[in-house]
Each structure stands twice: as C-alpha cells, then as structure tokens.
A = this chain, B = another copy of it.
Amino acid sequence: MTATTRDHDDLAYDVFAKACPSRGTLEHVTGRWGGLTLGALYEGSLRFNELRRRVDGVSEKMLSQTLHALERDGLVHREAQPTNPPRVDYELTALGRQVAERLLSLIHCVEDAMDDVLAARARYDETRGGL
C-alpha cells in the first residue's frame, strides 16, 4: 500500500512483502480451517467438539493445530475449567473479534456472489471447451 492510501509510514507491516510476519498471520486467519474457526467462534464461545461439528469436515488434529496457531497469535482465548473431566472453552479475544468481523463480511460477500460465480464458471468452461 502506498502512503496515500494508508495513514501510517513505510515502517508498517505489509502483507505484499515476502518476509513480513503479517503474511503468516493472514494465512492463519484465511487458511482453510482458520477462517471457518474464527467465523464459528464469532457467534459465541464453543467447546472443542461443538466447534468440530460446526466446522464441517475438519479433523480433530487439524482443528487442534488451527486453535493453537490462533491462540498463539492472540486471536483466540482457551479457558480450561478445573472440573472432572476438564471442560475447555474457546472464545475470541477482542483482537480476534475485530479480525473475525472483517472475515465474516468477506465470507458473506462470497456466499452472496455464488450465483454469479457459478454462472461465470459455466461461461468460462463453455468458451474454453469450444476452442
């Protein structure tokens, strides 16, 4: 981004730069399971198995890895209750909510665009098939 479109200086983080750490965090947030996990937790705190049911198709191992990365980035808070058996809840941090809001806006935009996307795909495949 140039200085005219962003209101901070050249020392800021920039996902377009290969070595910038923001690129890794963007990948945690938009990765296959990271995005759906943040989106699911936006509706409220969930236990591990509730999350797993909501994020249709995720394996136990992948959900666990995803939650660790998001917790390490400070986007998700893990709360273990001292009960027997232990009860563990996951919820978004304030920062996680900010990120999840933007992500859900993107997700809804994509969902709402799907009729047009599928029509575009059909046109594209027809044109290429006819060459």
A110 touches B15 (CB 8 A): yes
Q: A interface, how many residues as a size bin?
A: 35 or more
- When C-beta atoms are compared, the residue in chain B nearest to A55 turns out to be B16
A31-48 with Cβ < 8 A to chain B: 31-32, 35-36, 39-40, 43
| A contact face: mostly helix, strand, loop, or mixed | helix
Contact with A72, one of B5, B29, B35, B124 (Cβ below 8 angstroms): B124
B106 touches A74 (CB 8 A): no
B25 touches A110 (CB 8 A): yes
B114 touches A25 (CB 8 A): yes
Residues of A within 8 A of B (CB): 1, 5-6, 12-18, 21-22, 25-27, 29-32, 35-36, 39-40, 43, 54-57, 71-75, 95, 98-99, 102-103, 105-114, 116-121, 123-125
